[in-house]
Structure 1
Amino acid sequence: MSKYDRFMSSIATLGAASLLTLTSVSPSAAEVTYANQGSQWTQASRNDFYTRDQGARIIPFDWFKALKRADGTGFLDDSMARYGYLPNSESPTPGLPVGFLTASEGGVRTLSMTCSGCHVRQINVQGASWRIDGGPALSDFQAFLADLDTAVDKILTDSAAFDAFAKAVGAQSPHAHKQLHDDVEAWFKPYHTLMARALPTPGWGVGRADAVSMIFNRVAGLDIGHPPLRIIEENIARADAPVRYPFVWNAPIQDITQWPGFAKNGDDILGLARNVGEVYGVFGVYRPSKILPDVNIVDYLNESSLNFAGLQQLEFLLKKIDPPKWPWKLDGDLIKQGKAIYEKDCASGCHAETAGDPRLCNPNTWATPLQDVETDSREYKILGREADTGVLEGAFIPLVPGADTPLKPKDKIFSILGVSVIGSILEAPLHFGLDVFKPIVDACIQRDSRSPQQLQTLINSQIKTALQNLYAKPQQAPQFKYEARVMKGIWAVAPYLHNGSVPTLADLLKPAAERPASFKVGVNYDIENVGLAKDQPGLSSTYTADDCSKRDSGNSRCGHEFGTKLAPDEKKALLEYLKSL
C-alpha cells in the first residue's frame, strides 16, 4: 500500500474527513492575484491580519513540528495545504499558513490561530488564483483537528513513536522523557475528549464548521469544570450543525451578527465581546475560578490567554477590508436591468443597505433583518442547550441585565457563555491595567463631537449597558430565522445559504427541488453561474444536499425561493447585477 493509500485509509477510519478528496493540486498551485478590496487594505494591513495574535493556544509549537501524520509526513511539510490553508510567504514563522502563528504562553511557544484562518479564501478561475481577504475559507478544519488528535494518540500508544517524538523535541534524559510524556498526556486528555465527543461523521467538509457548537463545547465542556481536570464531558455535544464561514467585510457595522442573529453587534465594544467568545472556541485559555469557595465572585481571567490588544487591532483591521470588486468584464445594460429586479424582489425588507440600531460609539450601523425563509433549521437545535455550570454555579454580573441572575447548577448555555464573556471583559482592567481598552476609547473619541473627558466618562458608565443582553436567548418555539445581510461582494462567497447547501447563485434562483442534490466544494470557480465550478480536481469534499423533507438535517437545500419564477433573461440580468455589488 502506498503512502497516499495509507493516508486515505486512515482518514476514512477517522470519519472526521471521510468526504475529503485529495490530489496533487493544491489551492496555492497558481500565482496569486489579490482582489481589489479598497485603498485602505494595504499589504501591511494584510500581513497584520494574517498573523495578529488574538489569544488562541492550540499546542506547544515544538510538539507540533515533531508530530507525524498517518502517512509519516509532518504537519508543516506542505504548510498545511492538504487542509486547504493558504501559503503565507510573509509569516514570521516559516511554514505556517495564513491564519496561523506562534505565540508565547507561560514561557512556552505555542501554535496559535487567528481570524484569517477561517476568513480568507482563494478561488481559481481559468488557471488564475484570486485571493479574497475576509472571504469564507475553503479549508477543512475538522480534518486538521482529527489528524492532530490521531497524531498525539499515536505517540502515547506507541513507545517507539514517542521515543522519536521525544528526541525531536530534545527530551533526551530519562527525567525529561518522563516529564514530556506526562505533559503530553495532560494536554491530550481534554483535547481528545472534545474531539471524540464533538466531531461528527461524516465531517463538516471543506468550507464549513459548526463553530457555535464548538464554542459552547469548549467553554462548557473543558473550561468550567472543577480543577484539576476542569472537564465536564456531559456538556459536550455532537457538533453536527455546520454552516458556511461568513464573509467578514462590513461585519463590524452589522447591528446583530451570527447566522441566527443572536449576538448584538455594531461597535468596538460589542465586536470585542463577539471575538472573545470566538477565541475561547479556538483554544484560548479560559480557567475561571471562584475567589472563595462559598462566595459567588469569579476570577474570569485566571490564567487567561486572551490578547485584548490583538483583538482590538483585528477589529480595526476588519473595518479596512472592502468587499471585493468583480475583476472581470461586466455588461452595463444588464446591470441596469438587474438592479431594477434586485430592488423590487431582493432589497425590500431583506438585503437593502438600511440604518440599524445606533450604538454607543457608532451611530451608523446597518440593519441586519432576521428572516425565516424556510432554510435548514438545525442550527437552532444547539441554541436551546443547557449544561452544568461547574465552577460558575451562582456566578452573575451585577447591574448587567441579562447576566445579573445567578447561574443555576444547570442553566442555558447562552447564559454560561454570556457570563463568561462579559465577566472576562469587565474584569480586564483589573488584570491588564486601566488602559486595556484605550484603543477602543480613542477610536470612539475620534468618531464623536463630545470632548474626550465627556466621552471617557460616558464610555466608563455605559460599557455594562452596551453589553447587556449581549446574547439573545432563543425563544421556546423558534421561527428558524437567519441573517439577511447586505449583499456587497456576494459573488465571492459561494456556496450559498447559511449552511452552504447551494453551489452557485444561478442554482439559488431555482426551486429547491431543482437545485443540485450533490456537488463538490473546492476552489475552482464558475464566473458565469457565479459560484463553485462542477469540476474540483484539487482539495474538495462532496456536499450531499437533502431536500425539504429533511429541513432539520443540517444539509437541507430547502428555502429562499425568491427569484425562482423570473424569466431566464431576468435571472441573467439579476446575476450580472449581483456580480457588480
Structure 2
Amino acid sequence: MTRTRARTPVAAAVAVLTLAACALWQPIKPTPDNTPLPDPVGPMSVVTLDQGWDQSTRMSYWFTSQGSQIVPYRWFLVLEQAHSTERFRSDAHIEQLGYLPAAPGPGAWNPDGLPVGFTKASSKGQDWMGMSCAACHTGQINYKGRGLRIDGAPALSSFDRFYAELVAALQATQADEAKFQRFAAALGQTSPAQQQALRDDLARQTRDSAARLALNRPTYDPGHARLDAFGNIFNEVLVTALDQPSNARPPNAPVSYPFLWDTPQHDKVQWNGSAPNGPLGLGEVTRNVGEVLGVFGGLHIEDCKPQGCSYPSTVDIVALGHLEGWLRSLWSPQWDEKVLGPLDRELARKGEAIYGQQCAKCHLPIERTNPYRRITAQMHDVGTDPAMATAVAMRQALTGRLQGTPIITSLPKRFGDKDGGATIVVQGAVGVMLSTKEARMATLRALIIQYEAQLADELRGAGQFKAPAGWTHEKPSEELLNKVLATPAPHEDPPPSLAPYKARPLNGIWATAPYLHNGSVPSLWALLQPVAQRPARFFVGSREFDPVRVGQVSDQGPSLLDTSLPGNSNGGHLAGTTLPEADKRALLEYLKTL
C-alpha cells in the first residue's frame, strides 16, 4: 500500500495521535524514596518512588484539567450506581473499575476527593467532571500489604466498563422516580420548576452519553488494563465531529496503556511509532489535543467554506503545554528493595551480558535522569498481533463537510470525498490549534511552556550531565511558528510492513505489566517462554505483584483475557525464548534493575 505524505513538518509531527504524554511543569525538587502519600485512602500503606517529581507536581499532574467534559461535576459527586443507592464514585466502586481512589487535598487540590486523574473544569458557567492523562497513566502495584504508586505507569482500569456503568447510572436515575428524587435532593433541586429543568438536562445528557457509548462499543470487552484509544479518537472525529454515521467502526484493537516516562525524549511515540515529536514542539501539542478529542474534548467541525472550517472544542491547549512540559522531568521508577525484596546483583551482572546479546539492539539503554537523553524509535515487525497498527494504517472515511476544504498540513491540497482516517483526525487536532487567532496564540503559549520546561530540566541536570556538541535551542515565536508551518517536510518512505511496532528502552519495564503492545502476556517470565507455553487465558486487573515472574498476579482478577480472540494474539517477540532457564532467570534479574 502507498500512503501520501503531507508536505509540512506539522504533518510529520502529527501523523497520528496518541493517548499518552501529558504532564504539567513547575520547578522540581526530587522526592525521597518511599514518600507516603498524603492522607492515603484505605488501610494499605501506599508510597511513591523517586521519579523526579515533588508532591505538588504530582498533585498537579493528577488533577489538572485538559478540557475533558464527561458529565456535570455536581452530578458525578452525588450520582448513585444503577442498581444500588451507593454513590457511583464510592472508593469501593472506583477500585472495582480499576481506577485509584484519592483522599481530598492536599491544599486546593482535589477538594472533593475524586479518583486519580478525574478533574474539574469550568465552561460557560458549568463545572464538568472529566479525565486527565493521569487516569490512564498512573499505576499501582501491591505486595505484602504495601502499595507502590508509580507515576506514568499503565493503569489497570477498564474505561469501557466505567463508561457503560456511568451511562447505566444516568439511565436508572432518569427512569426510577425514587432515585431521581434522591438525586435532585442531593443537588438542592426541590421546586417543581427546578426538578423539571433537571429532568430535561438529565434526558439530554443521558441521550448523548448513550449515543457515545453505542458508537464506541467494541465487539469484545477488552477488560482491565486495555483500551482501543485510537478507535475511540477516530470515531469521535470521523463520526461525531463530522456528523458522518457511516464512518463508524467498532474499536476492536485494544492496547495496553503506554508508560509515559521518556515520552518527550522520543523522536516518535505511540505503540506504532505514528506520532512524531517536533518540530518546535508542534507534534507534542497536536497529539495531546488529539488525545483530549478521544476523551470528551467536544470537537465540532462546522461552518465549512472553500477557505476552511471552524473547529470549536473544549480542549485547553495551554494546559496541554504545561502537561507535556511537566512530563519531561518524569523519571522511570526503580525497583524498591524495601518493598519488593533485594536484588541478586551477581545474577543481574550475568543477565546484563545476556541483555546485550539478546535485547540491546532493539531496546537501547539510556540514562534515566539525563535531561539530554534522546531516543530514536526502533521500528520492528516481530510477529506480534497486527490489529492495532493495521487498523490505524488502513482506516478510510468519508470527509463530509470537509470535502473541498484545504488540508491544513498539506496546503494547497484539498479534501476529496474520502481520505485516510488519520489525515482527517490530524486535520481536526490542527484545526483546534490553528484555525483562529485565539487558538493560534494558545498554541504558541503551549510551545513556549514546553521550551521553558526543557530548559528547566536541563538546568536540573547541570553539573551531572553535559549537553552534547551542537546542542541548541530555538525559543518559539510567531515568526518561527510561521516558518515551520511553511517549510516542506523531508520525504519519508512508508514502512515495509503494515504492522511495525516501536521497541523502546526498557528502563522501568518491571512496573508496566501486562506485556506486548496489546497486553496479551501477563509477566516478563511468560514473555521469555516459547509462544505455545505462554498463558492462553489469564486474569488481568489485580494489583498484586509477582516479583519472581515480574508482573501482576494472573490467576485472579476482574477480567479474563483470552488470547484466541481477534486483536489478542500473544504470538511473536521471540527474543530470549530459546535461552536456558538459568539464563532467563539472569536476564529477568537484570531487567528488574533497569
- Once the two structures are TM-superposed, the CA of residue 374 in structure 1 deviates from its matched residue by 0.5
Q: Hey, what does 2:351 align to over in structure 1?
A: 338
Q: Would you say 1:426 and 2:440 are equivalent positions?
A: no
- Once the two structures are TM-superposed, the CA of residue 444 in structure 1 deviates from its matched residue by 6.6
Q: Hey, what does 1:44 align to over in structure 2?
A: 56
Q: Which amino acid in structure 1 is aligned with residue 60 of structure 2?
A: D
Q: Distance in 1 between matches of 2:482 and 2:260?
A: 30
Supply the RMSD in Å over aligned alpha carbons. 2.9
Q: Distance in 2 between matches of 1:233 and 1:337?
A: 57
Q: Hey, what does 1:248 align to over in structure 2?
A: 260
Contact in 2 for aligned 1:524/1:535 (Cα 8 Å): no
Q: Distance in 1 between matches of 2:494 and 2:473?
A: 39
TM score, norm. by length of structure 2: 0.82
Q: Which amino acid in structure 1 is aligned with residue 190 of structure 2?
A: Q
* Structure 1 residues 329-372: Cα deviation after superposition (integer angstroms, max 9, x where no partner): 11222222111111111111x111489xxxxxx99631111111
Matching residue within 455, 476, 500 for 1:481: 500
Q: Distance in 1 between matches of 2:317 and 2:377?
A: 27
Q: Distance in 2 between matches of 1:473 and 1:218?
A: 29
Q: Hey, what does 2:89 align to over in structure 1?
A: 76
Q: Distance in 2 between matches of 1:42 and 1:567?
A: 43
Q: Hey, what does 1:12 align to over in structure 2?
A: none
Q: 1:432 to 1:564 in 2, by over 3 A?
A: closer
Of residues 331-340 and 460-469 in structure 1, the stretch that sits farther from structure 2 once superposed is: 460-469
Q: Which amino acid in structure 1 is aligned with residue 48 of structure 2?
A: Y
Structure 1 segment 125-274 matched on structure 2, within 5 A: 125-225=143-243, 232-265=244-277, 268-274=281-287
Please state whether the residue corresponding to 1:216 is helix, strand or coil: helix
Q: Distance in 2 between matches of 1:236 and 1:174?
A: 40
- Once the two structures are TM-superposed, the CA of residue 468 in structure 1 deviates from its matched residue by 6.1
Q: Hey, what does 1:456 align to over in structure 2?
A: 477
- Once the two structures are TM-superposed, the CA of residue 555 in structure 1 deviates from its matched residue by 0.9
Q: Distance in 1 between matches of 2:344 and 2:488?
A: 46
Matching residue within 540, 544, 552 for 1:532: 552
Q: Hey, what does 1:34 align to over in structure 2?
A: 48
Q: Distance in 1 between matches of 2:246 and 2:455?
A: 46
Matching residue within 59, 64, 77 for 2:76: 64
Q: Which amino acid in structure 1 is aligned with residue 395 of structure 2?
A: R
* Structure 1 residues 492-520: Cα deviation after superposition (integer angstroms, max 9, x where no partner): 10111001111111111101110011112
Please state whether the residue corresponding to 2:559 is helix, strand or coil: strand
Q: Which amino acid in structure 2 is aligned with residue 106 of structure 1?
A: K
Q: 1:341 to 1:465 in 2, by over 3 A?
A: farther
Instruction: Give identity over the alignment, percent.
Output: 35
Q: Which amino acid in structure 2 is aligned with residue 423 of structure 1?
A: G
Q: Distance in 2 between matches of 1:197 and 1:351?
A: 37
Matching residue within 508, 521, 527 for 1:502: 521
Q: Hey, what does 1:229 align to over in structure 2?
A: none
Structure 1 segment 3-22 matched on structure 2, within 5 A: none
Contact in 2 for aligned 1:57/1:112 (Cα 8 Å): yes
Q: Distance in 1 between matches of 2:473 and 2:259?
A: 35
Q: Distance in 1 between matches of 2:379 and 2:130?
A: 34
Q: Which runs of 5+ in 1 are unaligned?
A: 1-25, 226-231, 356-361
Q: Would you say 1:520 and 2:539 are equivalent positions?
A: yes
Contact in 1 for aligned 2:49/2:149 (Cα 8 Å): yes
- Once the two structures are TM-superposed, the CA of residue 119 in structure 1 deviates from its matched residue by 0.4
Matching residue within 120, 124, 128 for 2:138: 120
Contact in 1 for aligned 2:141/2:149 (Cα 8 Å): yes
Q: Which amino acid in structure 2 is aligned with residue 297 of structure 1?
A: G
* Structure 1 residues 296-348: Cα deviation after superposition (integer angstroms, max 9, x where no partner): 42122x2x211122111111221121110111211222222111111111111
Matching residue within 25, 38, 53 for 2:65: 53
Please state whether the residue corresponding to 2:359 is helix, strand or coil: helix
Q: Which runs of 5+ in 2 are unaligned?
A: 1-39, 459-469
- Once the two structures are TM-superposed, the CA of residue 129 in structure 1 deviates from its matched residue by 0.9
Structure 1 segment 399-418 matched on structure 2, within 5 A: 400-401=409-410, 404-418=412-426
Contact in 2 for aligned 1:208/1:242 (Cα 8 Å): yes
Please state whether the residue corresponding to 1:370 is helix, strand or coil: strand
Q: Which amino acid in structure 2 is aligned with residue 376 of structure 1?
A: D
Please state whether the residue corresponding to 2:560 is helix, strand or coil: strand
Contact in 2 for aligned 1:353/1:367 (Cα 8 Å): no
TM score, norm. by length of structure 1: 0.83
Matching residue within 331, 335, 341 for 1:322: 331
Q: How many residues align?
A: 525
Q: 1:566 to 1:462 in 2, by over 3 A?
A: farther
Q: Distance in 1 between matches of 2:206 and 2:300?
A: 17
- Once the two structures are TM-superposed, the CA of residue 441 in structure 1 deviates from its matched residue by 4.8
Q: 1:152 to 1:319 in 2, by over 3 A?
A: same
Q: Which amino acid in structure 2 is aligned with residue 461 of structure 1?
A: N
Q: Distance in 1 between matches of 2:45 and 2:493?
A: 46
Please state whether the residue corresponding to 1:411 is helix, strand or coil: strand
* Structure 1 residues 469-496: Cα deviation after superposition (integer angstroms, max 9, x where no partner): 99x9987x84311111111100110111
Q: Which amino acid in structure 2 is aligned with residue 35 of structure 1?
A: L
Q: Hey, what does 1:580 align to over in structure 2?
A: 593
Please state whether the residue corresponding to 1:436 is helix, strand or coil: helix
Q: Distance in 2 between matches of 1:84 and 1:185?
A: 28
Q: 1:451 to 1:489 in 2, by over 3 A?
A: closer
Q: Hey, what does 1:305 align to over in structure 2?
A: 314
Q: Hey, what does 1:13 align to over in structure 2?
A: none
Contact in 2 for aligned 1:210/1:239 (Cα 8 Å): yes
Q: 1:474 to 1:282 in 2, by over 3 A?
A: farther
Higher normalized contact order (CA 8 Å, seq sep 6+, divided by chain length): 2
Q: Distance in 2 between matches of 1:273 and 1:489?
A: 27
Q: Distance in 1 between matches of 2:473 and 2:140?
A: 44
Please state whether the residue corresponding to 1:341 is helix, strand or coil: helix
Q: Distance in 2 between matches of 1:115 and 1:372?
A: 28
Contact in 1 for aligned 2:220/2:252 (Cα 8 Å): no
